[in-house]
A and B are shown apart, each in its own frame.
Chain A
Amino acid sequence: MTNAIGTSTARVDGIAKVTGTAQYAYEHPFTDPVYLHPVQATVARGAVDTFRSDKAESVDGVLAVLSPWNAPRLADVSDPELSLLQGPEVRFRGQIIGAVIATTPEIARHAQSLVEVEYTTDDHDTVLRADHPDRYPEDDPQTIGDDVDEKLSSAQLVIDQRYSTPEEHNTPMEPHTAVALWDPAEQHLTLTTATQGPHSVVDTLAPLLGLEPQQLRVVSPHVGGGFGSKAAPHGHDLVAALGALALPGRAVKYAVTRQQGFVFVGYRSPTRQHLRLGARCDGTLTAIDHESFSQVSPAGTFSESASSISASMYAADARRLVHHLVPLDVPPPHWMRAPGEAPGMFALEVAMDELAVAAGIDPVELRIRNDPDRDPATGNRWTSRRLVECLHEGARQFGWRDRDPHPGIRRDGEWLIGTGMASATYPHVMSPGTKVTIRHDGGGRYTVRTGAADIGTGAWTTLTLISADALRVSRERVTMEIGDSSLPTATVAGGSSGTTSWGSAIVATAEAFRRQHGDDPEAGAQTTGGVSEDPLAEGYTAASFGAHFVEVRVHPGTGEVRVPRMRGVFSIGRVINPRTVRSQLLGGMVMGLSMALHEKSVRDPRFGHVVTQDLATYHVPVNADIEDMDASWLDETDELATPMGSRGAGEIGIVGSAAAIANAVYHATGTRVRDLPITPPALVRD
């Protein structure tokens, strides 16, 4: 019965994308649009004293200048990130404190430079430290099993090390863009914006703007990547909306510049981590103590909780996990691909490699020895935990057998060669609440509508395949409509939950459609349905798993690291569209390589801003950095997790991959790098 699912299918939006005709937020046609350029704070903490805009206003073509005092008032100012232009407070450098709207982008940008602002400033602090006096634990420590300190003091082997990961910026290739149009006659706002969840933008912004949900429509059919940074509205959406309210009837376009994309659209907090592993001589873990620290802002307290990853990954008699938050004068951190899991797994999997070395055990074997039968955090059964098979299959593909564990002894000319591995996991997330409308258009053709978003994941195509099988027709007979809040409510594309949540709702609605209209429905027959709760049975934990295997070459003279070979094998349930899933997994691995070797946002403590605020100084991999890389998966289905048998695949590729590279660098050089990114100074030898 199912045959669309599992068939390698070209993207249904492929032609639009390769011809450049797919419309991203900025590219929708508007009559006589106007352009917004923000005024940004040049101090890291304080208040705007004076805001003089007369010079800017006198420029030909300037239509409005919004200040902290004259901008339209919000109905609700409880969200400090989005309560912009409502008062003089400056909470971080680069915060939006004004906006110029003009007939062309050139005029808006020039006039913005003529606005004169004076501030009262306070001392600021933007440096994350584990011993920061203002740190506070996010929650009580999570303790599971025996006493950790006791187990550590009686352990035959102890690994006790500190790890760090840097601040990172999502930097999707499409910079955030919002176009807002207020229709005064209809009292209706249309916001065309790059978002991972049109309905979540409505839910957040409508109350702030004092609108009923039906007075706000969010349009977002094509999104140029997000990686978490488009999962919630940020300041640009709000300011574009304020601009539209100030200029009724005009489409106000605000294209965030690449530099501004390093300020107020979210980022991954840096982390500091302290890990203590206790083990017996044979490598079986007796204790895991994972403590982590991340920064938060007066404008938002999103927590990059790195220690949580250690709850379920391996068996141990005792475990303690605690995460601390450090309040700093920085922009609000936010989601970035696998938030918490990516930096946490870096620390855990490097520590496991250190334990393998200390115990004299092969690192693959060490993971197998510590694979838990049940979820250690809850005692739950797994719906399917096949990490060990991923490890075996990855080792086989990579040719891991007979690896000599001694570090720093393999050479090819001047280059040192090494191999490394790490495990991966990502929790299965189902977000209930998605609604779907299925309509029979006649002749066995169906239109399936839901407000999902395709940020590059392939959702346009994946949901078409799920719909086809659920409706028992070929995929050519299904037309998907997504990316618009005027469609039935859908949850956010985030937490690797999109396909799970939307797909489950499609399957449920197709069943309801058949119950209501039978097997031979009339043209025009329509059903709206959805899922209101996670179907995962009590007592079960579901998660995706994987294993990364990497070869590196390190030049001892320059410290350069190359990654000639990388393999990932994943357990992600049934794969809906092999073609797009492989791309997602590879994309995650590329981002893991990037995390290991390239990315770092350098924040200047004197001024409080990120100085690496463009794509020349914020390094991401280019084509020449990626060599022989491949991703594959186990043949399986997990119907306890979703009716499609699938689990999330969007984030697991980045989890563990940075650790696998760091472990390979150790094997090549004998140098253990515990602070990312791994850059030449750590590896150059005289």
Chain B
Amino acid sequence: MESRLALTVDGEEHTIEVDTRTTLLDALRDRIGATAPKKGCDHGQCGSCTVIEDGRRVTTCLSLAVAHDGASIVTASGLSDGDLGLHPMQQAFIEQDAFQCGYCTPGQICSAIGMLAEIADGSPSFVTEDLADPPTLTDAEIRERLSGNLCRCGAYVNILAAVRQATQHSDKGAA
């Protein structure tokens, strides 16, 4: 069965017909040609497919495309507009060498941006000590909240450093 749906991806509108079994990730990759969301597991276990949908980080392999009709999606390719250069998080990933093969990287970056927004919103995590106060940006909070994004190259030390750099050098840490 095919279904028609509209998606805005990195500011561009697309209307596509998809097999209703198609995941949002496959629709982005196979139908729209987006290369930033990666498929690392297809089961919600690695975070490589993370994008920002309506301001929140989501793993696109875990839901069907037809459930996202009308959604607005930002992938790592759409974080910066070409003229202004890179998003501070992307710049920090390059400067801190927060990746090796780069396959987990677009997902890590979207996830890090979404994570900072969650902290700014006051959402607690497993390691938040005091649930009454808003969470603070400790190393433990960053590590915990980015633990849904696997990096088999083992770039975690530098990912933490990059997130730190992005939050220090930028007041627009959250997109």
Residues of A participating in the B interface, judged by any CB pair closer than 8 Å: 10-11, 13-24, 26-27, 29, 104-107, 110, 171-175, 222-225, 227, 255, 257-258, 455-458, 579-580, 582-584, 586-591, 594, 614-616, 620-627, 629-630
Closest to B127 in A: A624
CB <8 Å contact, A18 and B156: no
| Residues in chain A near residue B150, CB distance under 8 A | 173, 615, 620, 622
Inter-chain CA distance A622–B108, complex, in Å, is 12
Chain B residues near A105: list those with CB within 8 A: 26, 30
Taking a contact as CB atoms under 8 Å apart, the answer to whether B40 and A175 are in contact is: yes
Q: B151 at interface (Cβ–Cβ under 8 A)?
A: yes
Q: Are B43 and A258 in contact (CB under 8 A)?
A: yes
Query: What 4 A-B pairs come out closest when comparing CB atoms?
Result: A20-B36, A590-B154, A224-B103, A456-B101
| In the complex, chain A residues whose CB is within 8 Å of the CB of B151 | 173, 623
Query: Nearest chain B CB to A15's CB is how many angstroms away?
Result: 7
Interface hub of B38, B86, B148 (most chain A Cβ within 10 A): B38
Minimum CB–CB distance for B147 against chain A, Å: 4
Beyond contacts A14-B93, A18-B93, A620-B152: 7 other A-B pairs, Cβ-Cβ < 8 A, are A15-B94, A18-B99, A173-B38, A458-B100, A586-B157, A587-B153, A624-B140
Q: Is the CB of A614 within 8 A of B103?
A: no
| 29 pairs, A vs B, C-beta closer than 8 Å | A11-B97, A14-B94, A16-B102, A17-B99, A18-B106, A19-B36, A19-B80, A20-B76, A26-B29, A106-B21, A172-B101, A173-B38, A173-B46, A174-B101, A175-B39, A175-B40, A222-B101, A222-B102, A224-B101, A225-B100, A225-B103, A456-B99, A456-B100, A583-B158, A587-B153, A587-B155, A590-B154, A590-B156, A622-B147
A257 to B144 CA separation, bound complex (whole angstroms) = 27
| Nearest chain A CB to B163 CB, angstrom units | 10
Interface residues on B, range: 35 or more
Complex Cα–Cα for A590 and B100 (A)? 13
A11 contacts which of B48, B94, B154 (Cβ < 8 Å)?
B94
CB A599 to nearest CB in B, in angstroms, measures 11
Question: Complex Cα distance A227/B99, Å?
Answer: 15
In contact, A623 and B152 (Cβ under 8 angstroms): no
The answer to whether B158 touches A15, judged by C-beta atoms less than 8 angstroms apart, is: no
Q: Which B residues between 31 and 76 are near A, CB-CB below 8 angstroms? A: 33-43, 45-46, 48, 75-76
B102 x A17 contact (CB < 8 A):
yes
Decide: B103 and A623 in contact? CB cutoff 8 A.
Answer: no
Assess whether B157 is in contact with A258, with CB atoms less than 8 Å apart.
no
The answer to whether B102 touches A13, judged by C-beta atoms less than 8 angstroms apart, is: yes
* Chain B at the A interface: SS class: loop
Q: Tell me if B102 and A258 are in contact (CB < 8 A).
A: no
| Chain B residues close to A by CB (< 8 Å) | 19, 21-22, 26, 29-30, 33-43, 45-46, 48, 75-77, 79-80, 86, 90, 93-95, 97, 99-106, 109, 140, 142-144, 146-160
- List chain A residues, Cβ under 8 A from B48: 173
Residues of A contacting B105 with CB < 8 Å? 17-18, 20
B154 and A586 within 8 A (CB): yes
Given known contacts A173-B150, A458-B100, A622-B150, is B40 in contact with A21 (CB within 8 Å)? no
Write out the residue numbers on chain A whose beta carbons fall within 8 Å of the beta carbon of B79. 19
Main secondary structure of the interface of A (DSSP, over half): loop
Bound state CA distance, A22 and B26, in angstroms? 18
Best-surrounded residue of A21, A106, A255 (most CB of chain B within 10 A): A106
Contact (Cβ within 8 A) A255 B39 = yes
Cα A621 to Cα B100 in complex, Å, equals 16
A29 CA to B33 CA, complexed, in Å: 8
Is A623 a contact partner of B160 (Cβ separation < 8 A)?
yes
Given contacts A11-B97, A173-B152, A622-B147, contact A20 B157 (CB under 8 A): no
Q: CA A20 – CA B86 in complex, angstroms?
A: 12
Q: Judging by beta carbons under 8 Å apart, are A591 and B43 in contact?
A: no
B143: A residues at CB distance < 8 A: 623-624, 626-627
CB <8 Å contact, A173 and B104: yes
Contact A20 B26 (CB under 8 A): no
- The complex places the Cα of A17 from the Cα of B91 at a distance, in Å, of 11
Query: Are B42 and A257 interface neighbours, CB within 8 A?
Result: yes
Residue in A closest to B101 when the chains form the complex, CB atoms: A456
Q: In the complex, are the beta carbons of B94 and A18 less than 8 A apart?
A: yes
Q: Do B97 and A583 touch across chains, with their CB atoms under 8 A apart?
A: yes
Q: Is A584 touching B100 in the complex (CB atoms < 8 A)?
A: yes
Q: How far is the CB of B84 from chain A (nearest CB, A)?
A: 13
Is the pair A10, B95 in contact by a Cβ cutoff of 8 Å?
yes
Least distance between B80 CB and chain A CB atoms (Å): 8
Once bound together, how far apart are the Cα atoms of A591 and B155, in whole Å? 11
Q: Report whether A174 and B40 are in contact in the complex, using a CB–CB cutoff of 8 Å.
A: yes
Instruction: Please tell me if the beta carbons of B90 and A18 are within 8 angstroms of each other in the complex.
Output: yes
Q: State whether A616 and B86 are in contact (beta carbons under 8 Å apart), knowing that A15-B94, A455-B101, A458-B100 are contacts in the complex.
A: no
Given contacts A19-B76, A590-B154, A616-B45, contact A623 B101 (CB under 8 A): no
Is the beta-carbon distance between A24 and B103 smaller than 8 angstroms? yes
Cβ of A225 and Cβ of B153 under 8 Å apart? Answer: yes
Q: B35 — which chain A residues lie within 8 A by C-beta?
A: 20-24, 27
Interchain CB contact under 8 A, B106 and A20: yes
- Tell whether A614 pairs with B154 under 8 Å between CB atoms, given A107-B19, A224-B102: no
Measured between beta carbons, the chain A residues less than 8 angstroms from B147 are: 622-625
Cα–Cα distance between A456 and B103 once the two chains are bound (Å): 9
Selected contact of A580 from candidates B40, B43, B97, CB within 8 Å? B97
Q: Which residue of B lies closest to A222 (CB)?
A: B102
A584 to B155, CA, bound (A): 9
Find out whether the CB atom of B97 lies under 8 angstroms from the CB atom of A22. no
Contacts of A107 in B (CB 8 A): 19
- Give bound CA distance, A62 to B45, whole Å: 30
B132 to chain A, nearest CB (A): 23
State in angstroms the CA–CA spacing of A625 and B90 once bound together.
23
Closest Cβ of chain B: how far from A413's Cβ, in Å? Answer: 15
For A23, the closest partner residue in chain B by CB is: B35
CA distance A258 to B150 in the complex (A): 14
How far, in Å, is A459 (CB) from chain B's closest CB? Answer: 11
Which of A26, A456, A616, A624 is the one whose CB lies under 8 Å from B43?
A616
> Does B40 contact A615, Cβ atoms closer than 8 Å?
yes
A615 cross-chain contacts in B, Cβ below 8 A: 40-41, 43, 45-46, 150
Are B146's CB and A621's CB within 8 A?
A: no
C-alpha gap A171/B36 in the complex (Å)? 20
CB pair B97 A623 closer than 8 Å: no
Q: Which of B26, B106, B148, B152 lies in contact with A225, CB distance below 8 A? A: B152
Closest residue of chain B to A22 (Cβ to Cβ) is B102
Taking a contact as CB atoms closer than 8 A, the residue among B26, B77, B104 that contacts A21 in the complex is B77
Shortest distance between the CB of B156 and any CB in chain A (Å): 4
Q: Specify which chain A residues have a CB less than 8 angstroms from the CB of B33 in the assembled complex.
A: 29
In the bound complex, what is the Cα–Cα distance between A620 and B147 (angstroms)? 11
